[in-house]
Amino acid sequence: MLVHETGLGQRLIGLGIEVHRALGPGLLESVYEECLCHELKTSKIEFARQVPLAVSYKGIKLDCGYRMDIVVASEVLVEVKSVDRLLPIHDAQVVTYLKLSGLKAGLLMNFNSVLLKDGLRRLVLWSTIFLVLRDFVVSLKLRARNSDVGDLRMGER
C-alpha cells in the first residue's frame, strides 16, 4: 500500500510541524531527530532510528557507514536536515538511500526553515525514476510533439 493511501505521510508531516512549532529553526539536526522520534513514540508509530544501510557491490554487502535517520513503519524514510536551504545533493542522498534500502517513499525535512512546509520535500521512487513532490502539489506535464495525440496534461492544479 502506498504511503498516501495510509495517511502515514500526512501524519509524519504533522508531527514534524509540531516539533518545528515548538523549537523553531536554528538547532542541530540531532535535536530535531530526537524530538521527532519522541513524537513518533508518543503517537505509537513504529520506527527505527539511525538504521544502517549496506551497499551491495558485486554480490557482497559492504558496511560503508551510511545511516538512514528514521525509517517509519518499514515504509518511509525520514531524512532530517537543519541547513540554510535544501540542495539537489540532499534529494540525491534520499534517492540513493531509497534505492539501497528498497523503500519507495522518503520525506526530506529541513527544520532550519521559517516554516517547515518550505523545507519539506516528499520523494517517491519508482524503479530508477523519482519524483520530488513539493508543497503538497503534484504537477506533471507531458507534451506530445509532432504527433496525433496533441497535448496531454496530468495533475495540473
Read off the pLDDT of residues 44-85 as tens digits, 9 standing for 90 and up. Answer: 999 999 999 999 889 999 988 899 999 999 999 999 999 999
Residue 148 φ/ψ, nearest 5 degrees: -75, -10
What confidence tens digit (pLDDT) does each residue in 6-41 have?
699 999 999 999 999 999 999 999 999 999 999 999
Contact indicator for 66, 53 with CB cutoff of 8 Å: yes
Cα dihedral 138, 139, 142, 148 sign: positive
Rounded Cα distance between 25 and 30, Å, is: 13
Amino acid at 97: Y
Rounded Cα distance between 34 and 105, Å, is: 21
Q: Element (H or E) spanning 142, and its range?
A: strand 140-143
Q: What is the pTM of this model?
A: 0.77
Query: Residue 151: is its pLDDT beyond 50?
Result: no
Contact indicator for 147, 157 with CB cutoff of 8 Å: no
Beta strands 105-110 and 76-81 are parallel
Q: How far is CA 95 from the centre of its chain?
A: 9
Q: What is the mean pLDDT of the chain?
A: 83
Within 13 A of 77's CA, how many CA atoms are on the CB side? 30
Per-residue pLDDT, averaged over 103-120, amounts to 96
